[in-house]
């Protein structure tokens, strides 16, 4: 028997029965009865803006799966590029498919010289790398005007490859500019993460050989950050994509959404918070302050997870592996103490506030030598594959342009008064 809800319009006594399908009720059915009554749902806390077959989250159970595969298995056995393929195309690649995919991504890592020399180098010396990245992504649309042909699957594929491939190059270029170091060209003999680390850290050596364990740890972090269904950034990608803007412009918009401290910018805020706390002796007072409304515990809480974020569990393990090589991040003890205090405090447990992906990721990035300003950029590099998977799915679904409604609460009609009469 199909489950359903029945809605009655008390003004007329009319009712309508709406089936519950895939955990949702179809708003077009609601519209038949209540055409001009809108759902007031700012923040989309109760609105499913699309159907999607990409990522499944069960926030109460702490479950995250990409295309049905548990995140724990992918983090343990897969690679970021394989996961990117899975997200975009829906299946794990065969040997041949994977070889082609890696080849295509590897050979699209270079960026046009004008992007770096004329565009990126035009920024102020202390520009935030995330601001530079957002702008550079938008600028790419002018370098690939054919990207506007979004109906052509071959053109779509090319832009997907380009964007995934160029993200590390752009990210490293933004960093090198901000520290006054010369740009390092991609080395296509290296794997995805080793190449990124080479572009970040290479100085005068002919070839930069990244520590394989650190390159692997970064790869795991990239897998964990690759997609997370309709978060603010991905919803923005779909929103802009629904207007049929080219994928570079849509990706720039998604990256801008990620930049915010309530979203991908939180990993940066976590380190600033831990630094401000300064010592485990100050943790109790800090938590008291949070409970009294003096700011939030950064890296805690999530709109969807009302349980431990499964990515945080994996990240904690990865942190141990990284610290074995780099030495322990001195902020780790404060973070562990903070987690312990918060998880045994009724304020946090009653609100189901647990560490999210950002609570520990910043500690790893910092131990690996990344400046704090790069943390959100590191988040954006792999998230591009998720955004593009959603963009491709959106176009294949032939969705309508996203256009929410509002409840108008402003002034009634009134007559214009000239400036002297006000
Ligand atoms: N510290 C202290 N209290 C918190 C926190 C926090 N980190 N997060 C939520 N709360 C409290 C709120 O004050 C509120 O309490 P109240 O009911 O007494 O008013 C309650 O928990 C619910 O909070 P909301 O703001 O309604 O939760 P929402 O789902 O809108 O917000 C969010 C989710 C933005 C992630 C929030 O938890 C937050 O600001 N966390 C800190 C920033 C952060 O870590 N962001 C990264 C998220 S993961 C990501 O984007 C990759």
Residues 25 and 110 in one domain: no
Q: Are 237 and 249 part of one and the same domain?
A: yes
The Cα 259–Cα 375 span in angstroms is 10
Predicted local confidence at residue 249, as pLDDT: 98
- For residues 315, 316, 322, 323, the Cα torsion angle rounded to the nearest 10 degrees is 160
Among candidate residues 263, 309, 333, 415, the one labeled active-site is 263
Q: Rounded to the nearest whole angstrom, what is the distance from the C-alpha of residue 353 to the centroid of ligand 1?
A: 7
Is 263 near ligand 1, meaning CB less than 6 Å away? yes
Chosen domain end from 31, 58, 85: 58
Which single residue is written with the structure tokens 């499913």? 48
Distance CA 349, CA 275 (A): 24
Count of structural domains, the chain: 3
Same domain membership, residue 116 and residue 50 = no
Tell me how far the alpha carbon of residue 38 lies from the centroid of ligand 1, in angstroms. 26
Q: Of all protein residues, whose CA lies closest to atom 41 belonging to ligand 1?
A: 298
State the number of CA atoms in the 13 A half-sphere of 149 facing the CB: 9
Which among 28, 9, 245 has a CA at the least distance from the CA of 142?
Answer: 245
Contact 334, 285 (CB under 8 A): no
Same domain, 175 and 243: yes
Q: Nearest 5°: phi and psi at 26?
A: -80, 120
Instruction: Choose, from 216, 309, 358, 390, the residue flagged as catalytic.
Output: 358
Instruction: Indicate the pTM of the whole model.
Output: 0.92
CATH of the domain at 185: 1.10.580.10
127 shares a domain with 143: yes
Centre of ligand 1 from the C-alpha of residue 346, in Å? 15
Q: Which single residue is written with the structure tokens 């752009």? A: 170
Assess whether 221 and 155 both reside in one domain.
yes
Q: What string of pLDDT tens digits covers the 422 residues of the chain?
A: 789 999 999 999 999 999 999 999 999 888 899 888 999 999 999 999 999 999 999 988 889 999 999 999 999 999 999 999 999 999 999 999 999 999 999 999 999 999 988 999 999 989 999 999 999 999 999 999 999 999 999 999 999 999 999 999 999 999 999 899 999 999 999 999 999 999 999 999 999 999 999 999 999 999 999 999 999 999 999 999 999 999 999 999 999 999 998 888 888 889 999 999 999 999 999 999 999 999 899 999 988 888 888 898 899 889 989 999 999 888 999 999 999 999 999 999 999 999 888 888 989 999 999 999 999 999 999 999 999 999 999 999 989 999 999 999 999 999 999 999 99
DSSP characters for 16-73? EEEEEETTEE-HHHHHHH-TT-----TT-TT------SSEEEETTTTEEEETTEEHHH
229 and 128 fall within a common domain: yes
Of ligand 1's atoms, which has the minimum distance to the CA of residue 347?
3
The CATH number covering residue 300 comes to: 1.10.230.10
* Cβ of 264 less than 6 Å from ligand 1: yes
In a domain? residue 414: no
Tokens 């006054």 found at: 180
388 shares a domain with 359: no
Regarding whether 40 and 72 lie in a shared domain, the answer is: no
Q: Are residues 201 and 287 in the same domain?
A: no
CA 325 to chain centroid, in Å, comes to 27
Question: Do residues 69 and 45 share a domain?
Answer: no
Residue 358 bears catalytic tag: yes
Pocket of ligand 1 contains residue 302 by CB under 6 Å: yes
Active site residue 225: no
Q: Residues 36, 41, 43, 45: what is their CA dihedral angle, to the nearest 10 degrees?
A: -130
Q: What is the pLDDT of residue 17?
A: 94
- Ligand 1 centroid to residue 316 C-alpha, Å: 21
Are residue 105 and residue 196 in the same domain, yes or no? Answer: yes
As a 3-state breakdown, the chain gives helix, strand, coil percent values, each rounded to 5, of 55, 5, 40
- Residue to substitute in 44, 301, 341 for testing ligand 1 pocket (most ligand atoms within 8 angstroms of CB): 301
Rounded to the nearest angstrom, the distance between the alpha carbon of 55 and the centre of ligand 1 is: 22
Per the structure, the complete domain to which residue 199 belongs is given by: 63-263+373-397
């Amino acid at each position: 028997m199909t489950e359903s809800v029945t809605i009655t319009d008390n003004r007329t006594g009319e009712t309508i029965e709406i089936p519950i399908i895939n955990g949702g009720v179809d708003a077009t059915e609601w519209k038949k009865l209540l055409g001009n009554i809108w759902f007031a749902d700012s923040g989309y806390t109760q609105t499913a803006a699309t159907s999607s077959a990409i990522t499944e989250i069960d926030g109460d159970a702490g479950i995250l799966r990409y295309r049905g595969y548990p995140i724990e298995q992918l983090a343990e056995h897969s690679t970021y590029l394989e996961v990117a393929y899975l997200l975009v195309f829906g299946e794990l690649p065969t040997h041949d498919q994977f070889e082609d995919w890696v080849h295509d991504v590897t050979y699209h890592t270079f960026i046009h010289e004008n992007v770096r020399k004329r565009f990126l180098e035009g920024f102020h010396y202390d520009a935030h790398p995330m601001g530079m990245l957002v702008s550079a992504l938008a600028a790419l649309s002018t370098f690939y005007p054919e990207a506007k042909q979004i109906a052509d699957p071959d053109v779509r594929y090319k832009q997907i490859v380009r964007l995934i491939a160029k993200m590390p190059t752009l990210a490293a270029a933004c960093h090198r500019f901000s520290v006054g170091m010369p740009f390092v060209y991609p080395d296509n003999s290296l794997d995805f993460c080793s190449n990124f680390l080479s572009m970040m850290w290479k100085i005068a050596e002919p070839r930069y050989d990244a520590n394989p364990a650190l390159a692997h740890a970064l790869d795991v972090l990239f897998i964990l950050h690759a997609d997370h269904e309709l978060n603010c950034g991905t919803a923005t990608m779909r929103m802009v994509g629904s207007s049929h803007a080219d994928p570079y412009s849509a990706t720039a918009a998604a990256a801008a959404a990620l930049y915010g401290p309530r979203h991908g910018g939180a990993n940066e805020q976590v380190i600033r918070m831990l630094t401000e706390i300064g010592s485990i002796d100050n943790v109790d007072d800090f938590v008291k302050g949070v409970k009294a409304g003096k700011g939030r515990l950064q890296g805690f809480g999530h709109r969807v997870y009302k349980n431990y974020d499964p990515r945080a569990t994996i990240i904690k393990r990865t942190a141990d592996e990284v610290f074995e090589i780099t030495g322990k991040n001195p902020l780790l003890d404060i973070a562990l103490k903070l987690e312990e205090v918060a998880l045994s405090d009724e304020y946090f447990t009653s609100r189901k506030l647990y560490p999210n992906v950002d609570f520990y990721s910043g500690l790893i990035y910092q131990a690996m030598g990344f400046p704090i300003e790069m943390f959100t950029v590191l988040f954006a590099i792999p998230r591009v594959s998720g955004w593009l998977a959603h963009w491709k799915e959106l176009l294949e679904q032939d969705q309508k342009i996203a256009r929410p409604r509002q409840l108008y609460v402003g002034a009634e009609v009134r007559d214009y008064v000239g400036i002297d009469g006000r």
